[in-house]
Chain A
Amino acid sequence: EIVLTQSPGTLSLSPGERATLSCRASQSLSSDYLAWYQQKPGQAPRLLIYGASSRATGIPDRFSASGSGTDFTLTISRLEPEDFAVYYCQQRVTFGGGTKMEIK
């Protein structure tokens, strides 16, 4: 069973800064199966990225993602106030533990 480890657990940044979130798999996986979600307090998760690098419908282009094998990255180029949330990576039925993005 693949384990997904997200780091850091918490990321403290200011609006306008660049955010880099990591998702590391315990074994190599197909990029086709890696997705990223955003969850705001009291809301359901929302799909951001699928297939490791494709933005879901309506997701701003400040969100980008890349990676292959065991190492995957979600990047937010310039943080907007609405981007402060928890981010999860997912592969098949496994979710990472999440990265909480908080305002510094």
Chain B
Amino acid sequence: QEQLVESGGGLVKPGGSLRLSCAASGFTFGDYYMGWIRQAPGKGLEWVSYISSSGSSIYYADSVKGRFTISRDNAKNSLYLQMNSLRAEDTAVYYCAKMAIWFDPWGQGTLVTVSS
């Protein structure tokens, strides 16, 4: 079945960087848009970024624009999120998800904690 597995989360100091990965299986990865959505502790869902199937179209939420970079490697069935200049408010569980107009499925999430 369709599965997404995120990795790369952890504890990082403010101003630091982290790269998240999302490994996809069970579907033709290169046919689909993919997205990142985050959830701060005890809060709701916030879309972060998405990328078209070929990687030619990319969109970011204003809150991360200029700091985060989404990319994909269709040969490796993998999605990435490079996060730079991290702030305390970036602390969240980060989910990757396959996109149609909706998000399905979602990975299990990876926790990013930004703290000194």
Contact = CB atoms under 8 A, between A and B. Distances in A.
B44 A50 contact: no
Contact of B47 (A43, A51, A95, A98): A95
Nearest to B108: A44
Contact of B106 (A32, A46, A93, A95): A46
B88 interface: no
B102 A47 contact: yes
A38 to B, nearest CB: 11
B23 to A, nearest CB: 15
Interface string B81-116: 000000000000001000011111111110000000
A44 B59 CA distance: 22
Contact of B45 (A32, A47, A88): A88
Interface of B: 35, 37, 44-47, 50, 59, 61, 95, 100-109
B44 A32 contact: no
A95 B102 contact: no
B101 A50 contact: yes
Contacts of A44: 95, 106-109
Q: Which of A47, A51, A96, A97 has the most CB of B within 10 A?
A: A47
A35 B44 contact: no
A90 interface: yes
Contacts of B95: 44-45
A95 B106 CA distance: 15
Contacts of B44: 88, 95-98
Nearest to A54: B102
Given A44-B106, A46-B106, A33 B47 contact: no
B105 A47 contact: yes
A3 interface: no
B45 A95 contact: yes
Interface string A7-29: 00000000000000000000000
A93 to B, nearest CB: 4
A103 to B, nearest CB: 19
